[in-house]
Amino acid sequence: MPAAPPEPATAQQASEDRPAVRATGLAKSYGPTVALAGLDLHVAAGETVALLGPNGAGKTTTIGLLLGLLTPSRGQVRVYGRPPAQAVAGGLVGAMLQDAGLMPGVRVGELLAMVRGLYPEPLPFGDLVGLADLGSLLGRRAGRLSGGQAQRVRFAAAIAGDPMLLVLDEPTAAMDVQARRNFWRQIHAFASRGRTVLFATHYLHEADDAADRVVVIAGGRKVADGPPAAIKARFGDQQVRFTLLHGSPARLAALDGVRTVEHDHSRVTLHSTDTDATVRSLAGSGLAWSGLEVGGPDLETSFLRLLGEGS
């Protein structure tokens, strides 16, 4: 046999030697449309990293490239030191894609047993059922599940091979609040086994809750990279809105966490870095108000502002 380049003998070794993901100058264009304009991305083995950005930022393109589903126009990406298709073929990667589905006409248990069989060192079946909370679903037809159940099975299919790198593209998009909480608990349980997780999201709070590090992309470029707290401080433009019935508007700017104040007649919008603190100090301020609303981070606005600052 001809001499092959040295490959890690096991998935375990692969994780110790190399970064899980290393992308340099990664770019993808579709004709004149630039989906990704030169991304550098480094994910160390064992990290949980969020890829945060608004719709159209290039998140799905990035994921497609690092799974080998797309070919880069420029630049390069390596997964555990290998070209993406090789890493996938070697069983190092598991993925939950946005519009991926399940094999029709088979039972959930059969489907997962088959997927496990494709990997060199799959999760023991019992562990898989436990991690993805599947007990009651194993005998069900994969094509006849509710949205939330199908999501659990898709997650199970992604981790069935016990991959070193788990890639998730907006995994909670179709979930309610309770399902989201359960889902992130499961991801955490999986990651705590020393696995690397990279997930795309457009929810800042999700990145904040679940990730060790957040990479923000917008317009096909990386605009920020850092710990969640730093990203939140920079992008977390949350709003507190109410109608001011009585009291001096001048005092509003002095409330805790308030960055800027907007008025539309008596309707007030406070842009805050910490809405909890702002509401608390509003309640204690002696001002009279009604119709309180608290709005989550408006990422689109934050990104536009940041892109404006950057250029």
Partner 1 sequence: MTGFLALELRRSLRDVRYLILAVAMPVGLYLLFAGLFGARGQRAQGLPQPVELMVAMIAYGAMWAVFSATGPRIAHERAIGWTRQLRVTPLTPASALAGKLVTALAAALPAMVLVALTAVASHHVQLGAAQWPALLAAMWAGVLPLALLGLAIGYLAGDEVAFPLTMALYFALGALGGLWMPPSVMPHAMQDIGQALPSNAVAELGWRITGGQASALRAALVLTAWLLSSATAALLAYRRPNIRSTH
| Contacts to partner 1 by CB under 8 A | 28, 30, 35, 55-61, 64, 67, 69-70, 88-91, 93-95, 97-106, 110-111, 113-115, 117-120, 154, 157, 161, 167
Between 129 and 218, CB nearer to partner 1: 218
User: How far, in Å, are 51, 63, 200, 223 from residue 207 at the CA level?
Assistant: 8, 16, 9, 15
Phi, psi of 15 (to 5 degrees): -70, -30
Distance, C-alpha 289 to centroid of its chain: 37
Q: How far is the CB of 267 from partner 1 (least distance, A)?
A: 34
DSSP 8-state code for residue 82: B
Q: Determine the straight-line distance between the first and last CA of the chain, rounded to whole angstroms.
A: 55
* 308: CB partners within 8 A, 6+ apart: none
Between 143 and 296, CB nearer to partner 1: 143
Parallel, antiparallel, or unpaired: how do β-strands 258-264 and 267-272 relate?
antiparallel
Q: How far is the CB of 273 from partner 1 (least distance, A)?
A: 28
Q: How far is the CB of 42 from partner 1 (least distance, A)?
A: 21
Between 60 and 302, CB nearer to partner 1: 60
Between 108 and 279, CB nearer to partner 1: 108
> Is residue 241 within a helix (H) or strand (E), and if so which, with residue range?
strand 238-246
Between 86 and 301, CB nearer to partner 1: 86
CA pair distance 28, 77, nearest whole angstrom: 12
> 63 near 39, Cβ under 8 Å?
no
Q: How far is the CB of 89 from partner 1 (least distance, A)?
A: 5
Closest residue by Cα to residue 173 from 141, 145, 211, 199: 199
Q: How far is the CB of 111 from partner 1 (least distance, A)?
A: 8
Q: How far is the CB of 222 from partner 1 (least distance, A)?
A: 16
Between 152 and 154, CB nearer to partner 1: 154
Other Cβ atoms within 10 Å of 165 Cβ, number = 26
Q: How far is the CB of 36 from partner 1 (least distance, A)?
A: 10
Between 15 and 61, CB nearer to partner 1: 61
Q: How far is the CB of 132 from partner 1 (least distance, A)?
A: 15
Instruction: Name all contacts of 132-140 with Cβ < 8 Å and 24+ positions apart.
Output: 132/156, 132/159, 132/186, 133/182, 133/186, 134/108, 137/108, 138/107, 138/108, 138/109, 138/112, 139/107, 139/108, 139/109, 140/107, 140/108
CA pair distance 188, 224, nearest whole angstrom: 24
Between 143 and 227, CB nearer to partner 1: 143
